[in-house]
Chains A and B, each alone.
Chain A
Amino acid sequence: MSDGTTTVGRSATRRSARSGWVAWAYLAPALIIYGAFLLFPLGRAAQYSLFEWDGLGESTFVGLDNYVEILFDERLRVAFWHALVLVFFYAVLPLVIGLVLAALLTRSQVRGLGFFRSVIFLPQVIAMVVVAVTWRQIYAPDGPLNGFLRLIGLDSLTRPWLGDYTFTLPAVGLIGTWVCTGLVTVLLMAGMSRVPRELYEAARLDGSGPVREFFAITLPTVRGEITVALTLTIVAALKTFDLVYVTTSGGPGTSTTVPSYEIYRRAFQLGDVGVATAVGIVLTIIVFAINGVVNMIGDRK
């Protein structure tokens, strides 16, 4: 081996070593802030969750008792159940509506699609608190919804939508549907526009109708988009806080309480920090697990 190659090799090593140092310098500010204000407190949450602490006095180590309480506390159990119900309204319903809507719009060239896209995406950029205040007015006993029902003669259906043990959770859930459907539809439309038109024309020559077309061509192409849409909306459902805080505060009774709201309530109103952080850890694990499962199913094939 000649001297030349050795030199080249050495200088290459030196450069990569230097560039390694430089890279860490560039990463440092981001890593420090991110580590100190997100990663570290996340670790602390795991630690807190093993203690009983009221936020002020002494803390006592209780092992996994706080996690056991999640299983046996009625209020926490229903909170997780409600999160699941919200998944239906935030993720499943928007997906179904979005698929139909996007398929219809992609099939025929309708004018004004760009404008429509901007309109249905709008709820995504409005502060959730504003959305919640708005819908609280709409659902009010003398609000527009009941007014409309009276107008068309359906007086028997009118009710205080946010003060009813049966209907409040679906009423809150539908606000989530209103917010999420646009995002899901826009995502799916982007995916469907990738399908080459010839494919549809070929299918049509073969005599397949719109329904077969949808299941044979459209659905398989947007698999990736469906995965992304489900991940986003399911996580949004599980993290619901502002909406419940502003519309119902978890009530009436416990009928609309959700894990995030319970975390806030336990930590800052009841002084039960240990259980609150345990719920946070469980919620994090659920979010990651769902992400994993959805992506695994989406990647198959």
Chain B
Amino acid sequence: MKVSPIERGANYLVLIGFALVVLGPIGVIVTMAFGPKDASAGREGGAFHPENFPEAWEIGRFGQYMLTSVVVATIVVVVSVLCSILAGYALGTMRFRGATLVFYVFLLGIMVPTEAFIVPLYFDLRVLGLTNTVWGVALPQIAMSIAFGTYWMRTYFRSSSTALIEAARLDGANSMRILWQVLVPIGRPAILTLVLLVFMWTWNEFLIPLVMSPNGAVRTAPLGLAFFQGQYTQGTALLAAGAVMVALPVVLLYVFLQRHFIKGMIEGAVRE
């Protein structure tokens, strides 16, 4: 649409101004991460200190925390996406009694606040000896991801072509073969989006690992960072370096696959 050059100019100003407001804090933390650790380092070594990163990695034990995060995220992504594909397939392509009810039960899980079920779950898992284990941290997150994942995969399977399914069935393919050899290959974009979202949520999750591992045996990267902030109080450069490292894996994925993230979070939010 045609608008006056003045309005267009003003729009660019708003755009740039707003982008700066968003990028400003990110710039602050990155600058701090590369900044001098203390006054003496500032005098001797100039302004650029990439060595903060290995040092923070060492002192803050981020290697160990990141590894824990990778293990937890892998388990949550693999198990929850598999379960979601199977459940979404049933809800999206099959007619059976109770289908609507089951669908609403899963929808409920998308909205339930973590803090409502995590307290009793902690005490019950403690009795079972599952607290302070990887599974104790992973299973509640798998359950939450299944709620969204089933909803997400159901939407995909509903939109997939019934003619295709019918044709495969006439060829004698059973429901398992139709799923894995016809629908899943075509649905790779939808599945990739789900994998990315679940990975992001798991990597960034804070409350569940905090509650489920009170002794710190299964400390994920965000928890490690919060812990580091409490323990290490000399200067801010190493803390900032740690913060950058914790955020980096998801941010990198976002930079390369942002369409999936935006699409997933926008479309996943749109209600039925």
Chain A residues within CB distance 8 Å of chain B: 16, 19-20, 22-24, 26-27, 29-31, 33-34, 36-39, 41-42, 44-45, 47-48, 55, 101, 104-105, 107-110, 112, 116-131, 133-138, 140, 144, 178, 182-183, 186-187, 190, 197, 200-201, 224, 227-228, 231-232, 235, 238-239, 241-242, 245-246, 259-260, 263-264, 267-268, 273, 276-277, 280-281, 283-284, 287-288, 291, 295
B251:A120 contact, CB within 8 angstroms = no
B28:A24 contact, CB within 8 angstroms = no
**How far in angstroms is the closest Cβ of chain A from B114?**
7
B116:A45 contact, CB within 8 angstroms = yes
Those 5 A-B pairs whose CB atoms lie nearest each other, nearest first? A30-B87, A280-B116, A44-B120, A26-B90, A37-B143
How many interface residues does B have (CB within 8 Å)?
Answer: 91
Q: Which residue of B lies closest to A249 (CB)?
A: B230
Interface of A is mostly: helix
Q: With an 8 A cutoff between CB atoms, is B144 at the interface?
A: yes
B89:A26 contact, CB within 8 angstroms = yes
B119:A48 contact, CB within 8 angstroms = yes
B12:A19 contact, CB within 8 angstroms = no
Q: Complex: how many Å from CA A134 to CA B3?
A: 39
Q: State which of B41-49, B159-167, B236-244 sits at the interface with chain A.
A: B236-244
B254:A134 contact, CB within 8 angstroms = no
Which residues on the A side are within 8 Å of B200 (C-beta)? Answer: 125
Give the contacts of B1-55 with A (CB-CB under 8 A).
Answer: 1, 3, 7-8, 11-12, 14-15, 18-19, 21-23, 25-26, 28-29, 32
Which residues on the B side are within 8 Å of A121 (C-beta)? Answer: 258, 261-262
Quick one: which of B11, B118, B210, B226 contacts A104, CB cutoff 8 A? B11
- Using known A-B contacts A42-B117, A122-B22, A125-B254, determine if residue A29 contacts B86 with beta carbons closer than 8 Å: yes
Write 11 A-B pairs (CB below 8 A) sorted by A numbering.
A116-B19, A120-B18, A121-B262, A126-B251, A127-B247, A133-B239, A138-B28, A231-B269, A241-B206, A259-B115, A264-B207
Quick one: which of B19, B28, B222, B261 contacts A120, CB cutoff 8 A? B19
Q: Which residue of A lies closest to B106 (CB)?
A: A34
Which residues on the A side are within 8 Å of B246 (C-beta)? Answer: 127, 129-130
Which residues on the A side are within 8 Å of B155 (C-beta)? Answer: none
Q: Complex: how many Å from CA A128 to CA B82?
A: 27
B204:A16 contact, CB within 8 angstroms = no
B182-222 vs A, CB cutoff 8 Å, 1 = contact: the mask equals: 00000000000000000010011011001100100000011
Q: Complex: how many Å from CA A39 to CA B15?
A: 44
Which residues on the B side are within 8 Å of A133 (C-beta)? Answer: 29, 225-226, 229, 239-240, 243
Which residues on the B side are within 8 Å of A105 (C-beta)? Answer: 11, 15
